[in-house]
Amino acid sequence: MSNKNLNNKESLNNKLVNIIVSILSIVIICAGIICVIEWRKRNDLIFIIVGFINILGILFNIYLFSRLKSKK
């Protein structure tokens, strides 16, 4: 493979990682807002616990994608 093709693939991978991290950031904000709204409506602590677990999962995925980007 030529060096130009490798640079194009790395550039495309970086763009994809940036898009995925941006989408996950939006999802984490929405999940937090929905979690708080549902907790207020139903006054049940389970919504906070589930929301916290979801947010931790999304943060872990963002970490993995960022790590993948830095390896290349």
Q: Computed over its alpha carbons, how large is the radius of gyration of the chain?
A: 17
Answer yes or no: is pLDDT of 19 > 60. Answer: yes
Record the pTM.
0.71
Q: Rounded mean pLDDT of 29-56?
A: 86
pLDDT at 24: 87
Q: Rounded mean pLDDT of 49-65?
A: 87
Please tell me the distance from the alpha carbon of residue 10 to that of residue 21, in angstroms, as a whole number. 16
Q: Rounded mean pLDDT of 39-60?
A: 86
Q: How confident is the model at residue 5 (pLDDT cuts 50, 70, 90)?
A: low
Q: End-to-end CA distance of the chain, in Å?
A: 16
